[in-house]
Chains A and B, each alone.
Chain A
Amino acid sequence: MNYNAEHLALGCIQFFIIVLLAPFFAGFIHKLKQRARGQKGINILQFYINFNKLLKKEVVLSKDATLISSLAPYIVFVSYLLILLMLPAFYRYSLLGVSSDVILIAYSLALATFFMTLYAMDQGSAFGGLGASREWFLTVLSEPSLIFIFISLAIYTKQGRITDIFYFIQNGAENAFLSGAHSSSVSIAIPFLLFISLFIVSISENARIPIDNPETHLELTMFHEANILEASGKHLGIYEYGSYLKLTIFLTIMSLILFPYMAVNIYQVPLALTTYFIKMIILCGLIAGVEIVNPKMRVFRAPNVLSVSFILSLIAMILSIRGF
């Protein structure tokens, strides 16, 4: 694969569009939920305004904090940016497409979680430790599913890079569609299972109802929020933006499994971008729907749900090894 100026330019555009859209998707979910409850709802651009406001505020660190506390927000944020550099959301040649190994993606996510929980404990507040242990309790349970999802995709397509994986699926689907006949090279079961499995993992990883409640003010029930309870000012802004990026990463991967359509040249970009946006809106609606009709479950019920996700990804993996 030769990189040329077009790849570079479109890759950059893709990266910036996703990064800039991330708070919009989070805000959109929030707005949908509020409208469904009969509330007027926030400004859909509210999360941009919040970020801007927080950036101007000073950072207050606990007197027990070490260097980790000053670095962790940036490491977390950069990890997510790194993943977004790899994701082919609507353009096949993402900037870091060459090194977009699925294992790298999975563990960049883990790296971010690791530093976020270090930050939580470094501040020396009681909630930090509580939040960190809860965060790992969920991450440890959802990580196997995530790895299995990626590996079954890799086995299914015999590709290692996420750009190639989805391009392969896209091609297979296109060929099957163009030839008009039932093609044995396309599986419906595997993406379907993986989608559901990834959806459950997304809910857990992004602190959504029924696992966690992103809107709560109750310190004692928090998972994700308890980690950043001590964060203030710029750090808090970066963490919150980071959480929007994480949500966007998961939604984007889901959108690619749901319906992979990536532009390969500049002429396809408008259509691919529109498709991407529509897919993301649908997925936001799905997340909001789940959040509206469910209460938060008991903390120790979470493993049951995550085990469903694991089993689904396991089945998908067996199917892909057997060549469905």
Chain B
Amino acid sequence: MDKILINKNIVELNDFLSLVNNLKETGKYLLGIVASDERKFDSKFNIKYFFGGNGIIDEYLVKVDEKFQSISKICPAAKMYEREIHDLFGLVPDGHPDLRALMLYPENWDFSVQPLKKDYDNLVPKVKEYGKYKFKEVSGEGIFEVLVGPVHAGIIEPGHFRFSLAGEPVLQLEIRHFWKHRGIEKVCEGKDFNEVMNLVIKISGDNNVNIAISYLQAVESILNIELTERAKYIRMIYAEIERIWNYVRDVAWIFMDIGFALPAQNLFSLQEELMRLNKSLTGQRFLFNSLTVGGVNFDIDSLKIKAIAETIERVEKVMKECEAFILNSSTVLDRLEFTGKINKKTAEELSLCGISARASGLPRDTRIEFPYLIYGKFDLKPVLFESGDVFARTALRIKEIYVSKKIIGDLLFNLPEGDIIVAYENKPEAYKYAVGNSETARGNAFFYVMADDKGKIFRLKYIDPSFRIWPSIQYGVLGNIIADFPLINKSLNLSYSGNDM
């Protein structure tokens, strides 16, 4: 079992602000805020704050009735979490600068109905207009607004982007997301751990293996399941293959967005090769259903080892060519460099993770900070870029493909014998909870799972990297022209569905 060091604390509301301030000064950053309706046995709502850093996760528990202290002013990353809690639990963060509805749209949802409360009757309130959503206003001579979405010209998920422009330069971008809230967290309640796997892999399909690893980490920790070595190795192999195909696709789309279809198509065909490899490994192009509680569903035999080794060898070769191509092409560099710069300070304040953080010089990589599976055995160093622009994010992806290739190579070479799955009949202790934490191709996937007294799920909370990173685009586009927005957006390549559970 992968042990995550958790330092549990219960704090009083009064001194919480100064505590958060201290945490920030010691280099800790917000991993997530999880609220849970525990009135049944605790007569209060519990809000747990998870801060990470220095290899330890600090948990702070605050018990609240109706109101809680907002920490957004000193920790801007908390803003979205607090709005979410306000929406779904009806708890009011005191002193929050912006308490507009986040997920439950006042245009069609009655705000007095809060679905994550345990006394919610699972009924959708009558669809009618209950209120209006107010967008920020920018005014002045020659300033106009361009509204994009939620329905886009291409096949993209829904998201509303509101640009205030003075000519081409962007003065302000306001994002409104959560158009297709699925209520996954609510649906999961009362289901057993295996059943929920099917939902977990569909949170954000292209990252499903890494997200599932995070979920399983939490679940297996609750159930006290110890994986076999071979299962750990195979999970990591799938995880790294997923990372590679994600990165290959991301780089291809960056070429596509600068209107350079020739290299893009080359990479798309490479992506196709990887997806066919996925299919030959698990019968599924997206590696769905490859993992299960207690192990993995598909073993890797010597033929598969050969196939994987050959494919990743080819990937490295193509990516090396691609890297040289980018570095030697002034026209490509001209589009990528200095575009969509996210400053290190912004990245810190918003607790960014994954590619977005590392491209801005923050060494945040869950595989290194909180090693899980057997990442601890590898001497991994975070790949860092300082410039925080589109070029940094592109180059970072290419460099990390080499790292992943090396990891897979080592894993394949040292693959231990043994079973790939352990049988278990463990029942969880009542109301035991655990967290899972893994690195997806976008960033840190964080799971909070709590069992109830019947061994089912009492509360499940997932925090997608996209949820943390989306607000950063609003800062990344400043100083850029609107025509470069699609490129900036693509360089972060965030998930709408992971963001909006």
| A interface residues with partner B (beta carbon < 8 Å) | 33, 36-39, 126-127, 129-130, 133, 209-210, 213, 215-221, 229, 292-301
Contact = CB atoms under 8 A, between A and B. Distances in A.
Contacts of B153: 217-219, 229
A220 B332 contact: no
A217 B154 contact: yes
Interface string B248-262: 000000010111111
Nearest to B484: A298
Nearest to B485: A220
A37 B259 CA distance: 13
Contacts of B258: 295-296
Given A216-B259, A218-B486, A297 B334 contact: yes
Given A37-B261, A126-B145, A126-B147, A218 B332 contact: no
A299 B259 contact: no
Contacts of B482: 130, 220
B269 A38 contact: yes
Contact of B260 (A133, A229, A294, A298): A294
A221 B486 CA distance: 8
B148 interface: yes
B196 interface: no
Given A126-B144, A296-B258, A218 B335 contact: no
Contact of A221 (B146, B334, B483): B483
Contacts of A218: 153-154, 257, 486
Contacts of B331: 210, 294-295, 297
Contacts of A126: 144-147
B1 interface: no
A295 B144 contact: no
B259 A209 contact: yes
B168 interface: yes
Given A130-B482, A297-B335, A37 B148 contact: no
A215 B264 CA distance: 14
B334 A296 contact: no
B334 A301 contact: yes
Contacts of B261: 33, 37, 215, 292
Closest 6 CB pairs of A and B: A296-B259, A217-B154, A295-B260, A213-B259, A37-B265, A126-B146
A220 B260 contact: no
Nearest to B339: A298
B481 interface: yes
A215 B261 CA distance: 10
Contacts of B259: 209-210, 213, 215-216, 221, 295-296
Contacts of B144: 126, 129
B259 to A, nearest CB: 3
Interface of B: 144-148, 152-154, 165, 167-168, 255, 257-262, 264-266, 269, 329, 331-332, 334-335, 481-486
Contact of B335 (A219, A220, A298, A300): A298
29 contacts: A36-B262, A37-B262, A37-B265, A39-B265, A126-B145, A129-B144, A210-B259, A217-B152, A217-B154, A218-B486, A220-B148, A220-B482, A220-B486, A221-B259, A229-B153, A293-B262, A295-B255, A295-B329, A295-B331, A295-B335, A296-B258, A296-B260, A297-B334, A298-B483, A298-B484, A299-B168, A299-B483, A300-B481, A301-B334
Contacts of A129: 144
A137 to B, nearest CB: 9
Contacts of A216: 259
A37 B258 CA distance: 15
B158 to A, nearest CB: 14
A220 B483 contact: yes
A166 B266 CA distance: 44
A145 to B, nearest CB: 22
Given A219-B148, A219-B152, A38 B265 contact: yes
B272 to A, nearest CB: 11
Nearest to A225: B153
A210 B257 CA distance: 12
Contacts of B485: 220
Contacts of B335: 295-298
A296 B255 CA distance: 10
Contacts of B266: 37-38
A6 B124 CA distance: 77
Nearest to B332: A295
A154 to B, nearest CB: 36
A215 B259 CA distance: 8
Contact of A298 (B165, B255, B265, B334): B334
Given A220-B486, A297-B331, 6 more contacts: A38-B269, A127-B146, A210-B259, A217-B154, A295-B331, A296-B335
A53 B331 CA distance: 38
Contacts of B481: 298-300
B78 to A, nearest CB: 31
Interface centre among B148, B265, B482, B483 (most CB of A within 10 A): B483
Contacts of B148: 219-220
B474 to A, nearest CB: 15
A292 B168 contact: no
Contacts of B257: 218, 221
Contacts of B167: 133
A77 to B, nearest CB: 23
A216 B484 CA distance: 13
Contacts of A219: 148, 152-153
Contacts of A297: 331, 334-335
B90 to A, nearest CB: 36
Contacts of A294: 260, 331
A6 B73 CA distance: 83
B151 to A, nearest CB: 11
Nearest to B336: A295
B394 to A, nearest CB: 13
Nearest to A133: B167
Contacts of B265: 37-39
A229 B151 CA distance: 13
A129 B163 CA distance: 14
A300 to B, nearest CB: 7
Contacts of A299: 168, 481, 483
Contacts of A210: 259, 331
Nearest to A217: B154
Contacts of B146: 126-127, 130, 220
A33 B269 CA distance: 16
Contacts of A130: 146, 165, 482
Contacts of B152: 217, 219
A71 B332 CA distance: 41
A322 B98 CA distance: 70
Contacts of A209: 259
A301 B259 CA distance: 15
Contacts of A213: 259
